[in-house]
Structure 1
C-alpha cells in the first residue's frame, strides 16, 4: 500500500525574517539594559517581544489555513461525467479524491495508483455490509498491510457493486483495513478494470469498458 505524505507549507519568509529581527531586538535590548541604558534597553525589549508575539500569531493563522486546506482537499470536487468519460479534478493537495458508491453507500476515496487493492475502513465496511471472505480461486484471503507502524494483518472482502460517475464495477475485491482512519483508497484493481485511465491538465479521466 502506498503511503500518503501531505506537506504543510512553511511560514511566509517575510514573517520568519521579521521574527528573527524582533529576536535580535530583544537580545540587543537586554545588552543595552545591562550595560548602557536601562530605559532604552527596556523599550527595545518591549518592542521585540511584542513583534515576536505578533509574528507567532500570524504563523499560527498560516498553519491553520494549511490544515484547513488539507481538510477541504479530502472533500473532492464534483465529478464531471462527459459522455462515457468520468473526469475528476485534482485536489488542492495534489491528489485525486472522488465519491464512490459501494453497495449503495456514498463514501470518499483517494485514487491511489500505488495501492494494489481498494481499501476501506472497518466502519465503511460495516455500513456497506462487507464481510471477510476467503476464495483461493479469486485470490482473496488474509493480507498483510505495510504501514509506517509495521505490517498489519487485514481481511479481504468482495464489494458487490461499485459506482463512480459513469463506471459500474461488480464483485470487486477489497481490503478491510482496521485503523486506516478516514482515508479510503481506490487501488489498481479498480483502475485495471477500466478500458483506460489517464491524467490530462490536472484531471483524472476514467473510461469504462
Structure 2
C-alpha cells in the first residue's frame, strides 16, 4: 500500500518552471497574472489527484471526496456505479461482517479472481472464522502459487449490494490487498463496464449502505 501520494516527476519540473517564471514575471503585470493563474491551476490539479488517490485508503480523505462529490461509487436507481480509479482498477468501499460490527475496507474488484480474498487483519476484523482444511488450498497468483485458508464472511455490503455467507480465502501472502472475486459478482443480476464505470445490479437492491 502506498504510504503517501507521489506525483509524476514531470509535474515537479512543471511546477519548478512555473515558479521560475513567476520570479521573472514580477516586473510584467500581465505575465505575472497569467503565471499566478497557471500555478493555482497546477496546485488545484494536484489537490484533486491527492484526494482521489488517497480516498481509497484513508477514511478522512474519503469523507472529503464525498463532500466534493468525487467519491468512486454511487447508487443510481437499482444500480451501484463505481468509477475507475486513476490506476485503472475498480475499488469499492464495503462493510464486512455483521450489522453493528465488522469493518469497512476498500476492496479491489477483480473479475479474474475466482474467489473473494482477504488479508488476515481484514478477515479477523470482519469476524471470519477460518475453517480447518483437510487438504491445503492452493491459489495461483501473479506472484506464484500460495497456500490459503478458507472461511465465510457473514455479510459483505456496499452501495445497494449485499452478499451474505460469502466464501472467502485468507492468506498473509495477500499483504494489505483485499479482493472481491467472481463468487461475489456471480451472485448479482448483472455487472458490466461502460467506459470508465463499473455497473453492478443486484437481484434485490438494498437501501444504500451508510458510509459505503
- Is this a same-fold pair by TM over 0.5? yes
**In 2, Cα distance between the equivalents of 1:70 and 1:181?**
22
Given that 1:118 and 1:188 are in contact with CA atoms closer than 8 Å, whether structure 2 keeps it comes out as: yes
Residue of structure 1 equivalent to 2:25? none
Q: Give the superposition deviation at 1:143.
A: 1.7
SS at match of 1:179: helix
1:194 aligns with 2:188: yes
The answer to whether structure 1 residue 72 and structure 2 residue 70 are counterparts is no
The separation in 2 between residues aligned to 1:153 and 1:9, in whole angstroms, is 36
Q: Distance in 1 between matches of 2:148 and 2:168?
A: 10
Kept in 2: contact 1:73–1:91 (CA 8 A): no
Alignment match of 1:164 (pick from 158, 169, 172): 158
Q: Is the 8 A contact 2:120 2:172 kept in 1?
A: yes
SS class of match (1:151): strand
Aligned position for 1:203: 197
Instruction: Specify every segment of 5 or more residues in structure 2 that has no aligned partner in the other structure, as ranges.
Output: 1-5, 14-45, 63-70, 204-212
Distance 1:158 1:72, change over 3 A: same
Gaps of 5+ in 1: 1-7, 16-64
Q: How far has the Cα of 1:135 moved from its partner?
A: 8.4
Does the C-alpha gap of structure 1 residues 173 and 9 become closer, same or farther in structure 2, counting only changes over 3 Å?
same
CA contact (8 A) 1:70 1:93 kept: no
Cα pair 1:73 1:92 within 8 Å, conserved: no
| 1:102 has 2:96 as partner | yes
TM-score by length of 1: 0.61
1:84 matched residue in structure 2:
78
Alpha-carbon displacement from aligned partner over 1:5-35 (angstroms, at most 9, x marks no partner) = xxx99865xx7xxxxxxxxxxxxxxxxxxxx
| Map of 1:22 onto structure 2 | none
1:82 deviates by: 1.2
Q: How does 1:38-53 map to 2 (within 5 A)?
A: none
Q: Provide the TM-score with structure 2 as the length reference.
A: 0.60
8 Å Cα contact 2:72/2:84 also seen in 1: no
Q: Which residue of 1 aligns with 2:114?
A: 116
> Corresponding residue for 1:131?
129
